[in-house]
Structure 1
């Protein structure tokens, strides 16, 4: 009979032996990947992971390995784990589309999203995910986006009025990142949830707005630790994890926990108000913000009429709300800020874009542009596409191979001394999908792939682009991913960006500030002033009439 004391003595030895056997077994299984070229590991324990997720130097690391090692790159993970950084279009077609149920989201991504938001689209797999997406797809259709146009315009006109007041006495430096975050939150609040956060009112202290704006910067500080969550969650009860997250002397983790709590409490409040309105009938619904045409109202109505096997439990609808706010706000505000940043540095492009949108507004009988007219503005489309190509808000996404599999390559690569046209990927191998890498691949986009040239989208694209068959849902790009886990709200995001840009550019001129700003790596790329980790992009803003425009 083994005593409790002996168990305590032998347990650490058992754990060390188990870890050694697991690491050795994995090392042997991944041996074929060791010969793939890649950067030297930074440490035996962390490999290259700190470089991959480094807020300050991560961007240069990603750029360097893409330029040095090409489309298939070996990355060292924890304790010798061999990971792959892939931007080969044929390989990514298999990963994202053909074999998408083999290459599923990593356990760290799934577990962390369940902890942060609940069982939503980013926290579910397989049939569960497909069932959620089937119910949500119609809500994000182009047909439904047409109903959102008046809501988007009303909010953006409010933003323009605020900036006009600030610049009425002459050019003024404004933090564009802050204002794009505010307008993106209000757009998704009203258009997505049928709820106003009053995000554009500087005099309103809104805890949710502050929490939502701070979520991505806070999450970026603990991003490195996501892969450890699948090891912790099965053995540590939820109430213990929650207590530790709130009480450990770890400020970054405490901050993330507080933000998640605020977002969840507000989502519950909004959902309860919506349910009451739906129970009272159509008259109550039309008196809500967005008159019941917002995404969540439509989803609730669709869920009520869905068959029993398709219905989502209330907890999963609540989870979709938190995800919608986070995903729509951060990616859209990052993209809008980047577009205005690059336009401020290219005044000729800004002037040309302004001329196009001003002419369109002058021709509009209602003052604002309808859905079709907005999408038919070629230069606005070109500016959006080129910026989303070169400056995708998200740099990489990850997947895990759930079984051994062979993946074909578009261009043969050298592994060791052999040239191969397909590659063996062992079970449990982590894959980094190189979104920016494939969007800026010179073999696809030409020798000027790393230059910002909106004109490239005004002419027929080179055969190298169409022949590559990049597996994305938008503009031969991977910015919104592809396959069954592509960004479901990309049409929503496009409408937001085009309405905000068309009104801002037709009303204001944007020029660079003298302050030094660089774009930092996080879950979403964010601009920060030198020496700061707070997102900010100062630009000088002036009324168009002051620049000689009509």
Structure 2
């Protein structure tokens, strides 16, 4: 037993030494790809790319080096920064079996959320996806619409209570976070986290909100996660983690533990209810129509070879919560921020919503809500220009070739129309850069203009075959790893926006709003703060 730590440490050091030799001293086909100089010997360009205020560096990288560039990762590793649509189409669709999310990404997800959709690849991922696809169908979303309106109605009452005497500054991000968690809780898990009737400091809610900012504070974590398995079994890794004298790391551990504990409690209660019979679920939150109830029932009916083990079903819960709460709450906050800056757009949207409510009632039905052209345009334009997730990781499973939509001039003077990709090559795929590329979208590509969706899109966009399952955008990507919950997300956004904008007017409060670049972009009141917050002035809207 005494020799185990020594063997583990030796294996870790040997692997690290091999990577250093390979990265710093061995030639690579990527050496001739142009890119920015390294920001530091150890971190390369990673801190420039991943710090809270890295928007300017991303713009510099995009505008200076174009759709494909070489960047330096930790310890000399050569990565590719890509937003060329033909290359993205190859990675996400045509040659998708040659790529996966990468050792670093999947290891990190498995350590924090378990072996769910975001932490698996290959046959296991396909098996999980096969089980989950029917749960996120349009027909199932239609069934969830009344439940979503019920949650949005509670939000309306809560805000109305606070502004009925006159305009008031409110932390809109806080309210959007609580609402998104309740929507995912009731619609995704059949569980109520927050009745939205009083100020809430629920530990689980706070943990979910803090998860992404906590990770963003320590970008080097993603470098070490692939090596953690070398440190022995889970109990031993946990013992070592408890000894780490970094306050932020211990806070991150507490956040993960809090999310895991509550998820296990909900899962066990839900499983017990289903085993006792559907009668219990009919009297529960969501009446058994929530995603988790449907998934558990289908999993129990599945054949032995298709059935998912408990740990994988439980991991989907953490995935639903993390992927569904922060992305939706921050996207909603971004829309309301943009509407506050563009009162004419807000007024036009309110007119459309009032007209629909006069025809269909306060809760606009599923199909009619989805067909509202200006609401749809506002959502599409926000998810084009300011999608919550800006970057996606991929890693090459084998030696392959990456096709390009336009020639690339290399540092040695050669011109490439395709790039030889060595096995193990990592990619930063810049979703926002593709969504805002002037070569596709025109000179106003980086301006927020919902009206662009009320007319035909530029021919260049149609011809680019952008690998996306939504609106010619790469926001939700495509292929076997596309966002399975995008219809769920769209319904959340439209129900909440239709409820809020029809009843309230949103304006800037005077408090700073700084959007931080992170795994999921989020607002704070300063560049120095990592506390998610966004204050707007809210008042009752006139009809």
TM class, shorter-length: over 0.9
Structure 2 vs 1, CA of residues 513 and 305 (structure 1 numbering), >3 Å: closer, same or farther?
same
* Structure 2, unpaired ranges of 5+: none
Q: Judge which range, 71-80 or 128-137, deviates more.
A: 71-80
Structure 2 vs 1, CA of residues 263 and 29 (structure 1 numbering), >3 Å: closer, same or farther?
same
- Contact (CA 8 Å) 1:338, 1:387: kept in 2 or not? yes
Match in the other structure for 1:338: 334
Looking at structure 2, the residues matched to 482 and 11 of structure 1 have their Cα atoms a distance apart, in angstroms, of 39
Cα distance, 1:204 vs structure 2? 5.0
Structure 2 vs 1, CA of residues 507 and 237 (structure 1 numbering), >3 Å: closer, same or farther?
same
Looking at structure 2, the residues matched to 123 and 296 of structure 1 have their Cα atoms a distance apart, in angstroms, of 18
Spell out, residue by residue over 1:502-528, the C-alpha distance to the aligned partner (whole angstroms, 9 max, x if none): 110000000111112210011100011
Looking at structure 1, the residues matched to 308 and 217 of structure 2 have their Cα atoms a distance apart, in angstroms, of 33
Looking at structure 2, the residues matched to 9 and 265 of structure 1 have their Cα atoms a distance apart, in angstroms, of 33
Cα distance, 1:487 vs structure 2? 0.7
Question: What are the residue-to-residue correspondences of 1:523-534 with 2, within 5 Å?
Answer: 523-530=519-526, 531-534=528-531
- Contact (CA 8 Å) 1:109, 1:227: kept in 2 or not? no
Question: What are the residue-to-residue correspondences of 1:255-334 with 2, within 5 Å?
Answer: 255-334=251-330
- Contact (CA 8 Å) 2:47, 2:219: kept in 1 or not? no
Residue aligned with 1:412, SS: strand
Cα distance, 1:384 vs structure 2? 0.3
Match in the other structure for 2:536: 539
Match in the other structure for 1:49: 46
Cα distance, 1:481 vs structure 2? 1.5
Match in the other structure for 1:59: 55
Cα distance, 1:418 vs structure 2? 1.5
Looking at structure 2, the residues matched to 51 and 30 of structure 1 have their Cα atoms a distance apart, in angstroms, of 25
Cα distance, 1:479 vs structure 2? 0.9
Structure 2 vs 1, CA of residues 188 and 30 (structure 1 numbering), >3 Å: closer, same or farther?
farther
- CA RMSD of the aligned region, Å? 2.0
Spell out, residue by residue over 1:51-106, the C-alpha distance to the aligned partner (whole angstroms, 9 max, x if none): 11111x32221121111110001101122211000000111111111111211111
Structure 2 vs 1, CA of residues 526 and 22 (structure 1 numbering), >3 Å: closer, same or farther?
closer
Residue aligned with 2:119, SS: coil
TM-score of the two chains, using structure 1 as the length reference: 0.94
Spell out, residue by residue over 1:271-296, the C-alpha distance to the aligned partner (whole angstroms, 9 max, x if none): 12212221222221100101000000
Structure 2 vs 1, CA of residues 462 and 14 (structure 1 numbering), >3 Å: closer, same or farther?
closer
Match in the other structure for 2:33: 36
Q: Judge which range, 494-503 or 10-19, deviates more.
A: 10-19
- Residue 383 in 1 paired to residue 344 in 2? no
Structure 2 vs 1, CA of residues 9 and 99 (structure 1 numbering), >3 Å: closer, same or farther?
closer
Match in the other structure for 2:107: 111
Residue aligned with 2:404, SS: strand
Cα distance, 1:303 vs structure 2? 0.2
Match in the other structure for 1:510: 506
Q: Judge which range, 203-212 or 427-436, deviates more.
A: 203-212
Q: Judge which range, 199-208 or 231-240, deviates more.
A: 199-208
Question: What are the residue-to-residue correspondences of 1:485-500 with 2, within 5 Å?
Answer: 485-500=481-496
Looking at structure 2, the residues matched to 119 and 523 of structure 1 have their Cα atoms a distance apart, in angstroms, of 19
Residue aligned with 2:212, SS: helix
Match in the other structure for 2:406: 411
Spell out, residue by residue over 1:337-396, the C-alpha distance to the aligned partner (whole angstroms, 9 max, x if none): 0000001000000000000011000101x5311111001100000000000000011110
Question: What are the residue-to-residue correspondences of 1:62-101 with 2, within 5 Å?
Answer: 62-101=58-97
Structure 2 vs 1, CA of residues 30 and 393 (structure 1 numbering), >3 Å: closer, same or farther?
farther
Looking at structure 2, the residues matched to 182 and 18 of structure 1 have their Cα atoms a distance apart, in angstroms, of 44
TM-score of the two chains, using structure 2 as the length reference: 0.95
Match in the other structure for 1:373: 368
Residue aligned with 1:233, SS: helix
- Residue 138 in 1 paired to residue 134 in 2? yes
- Contact (CA 8 Å) 1:47, 1:78: kept in 2 or not? yes
Spell out, residue by residue over 1:209-252, the C-alpha distance to the aligned partner (whole angstroms, 9 max, x if none): 12112111112112332121112222333112222333421111
Cα distance, 1:22 vs structure 2? 4.0
Spell out, residue by residue over 1:119-158, the C-alpha distance to the aligned partner (whole angstroms, 9 max, x if none): 1001111000000000000000111000100110000010
Residue aligned with 2:75, SS: helix
Structure 2 vs 1, CA of residues 9 and 144 (structure 1 numbering), >3 Å: closer, same or farther?
closer
Question: What are the residue-to-residue correspondences of 1:199-210 with 2, within 5 Å?
Answer: 200-210=196-206
Looking at structure 1, the residues matched to 455 and 114 of structure 2 have their Cα atoms a distance apart, in angstroms, of 44
Residue aligned with 1:101, SS: helix
Residue aligned with 2:230, SS: coil
Aligned match for 2:443, one of 429, 443, 447: 447
- Contact (CA 8 Å) 1:435, 1:479: kept in 2 or not? yes
Looking at structure 1, the residues matched to 251 and 522 of structure 2 have their Cα atoms a distance apart, in angstroms, of 19
Looking at structure 2, the residues matched to 10 and 277 of structure 1 have their Cα atoms a distance apart, in angstroms, of 46
Residue aligned with 2:468, SS: coil
Looking at structure 1, the residues matched to 194 and 137 of structure 2 have their Cα atoms a distance apart, in angstroms, of 27
- Contact (CA 8 Å) 1:390, 1:436: kept in 2 or not? yes
Aligned match for 1:425, one of 415, 421, 427: 421
Cα distance, 1:21 vs structure 2? 5.0
* Structure 1, unpaired ranges of 5+: 1-7
Match in the other structure for 1:3: none
Structure 2 vs 1, CA of residues 52 and 205 (structure 1 numbering), >3 Å: closer, same or farther?
closer
Cα distance, 1:411 vs structure 2? 1.1
Looking at structure 1, the residues matched to 256 and 336 of structure 2 have their Cα atoms a distance apart, in angstroms, of 30
Q: How many positions carry a matched residue from both structures?
A: 537
- Contact (CA 8 Å) 2:231, 2:237: kept in 1 or not? no
- Contact (CA 8 Å) 1:411, 1:421: kept in 2 or not? yes
Residue aligned with 2:159, SS: helix
- Residue 395 in 1 paired to residue 355 in 2? no
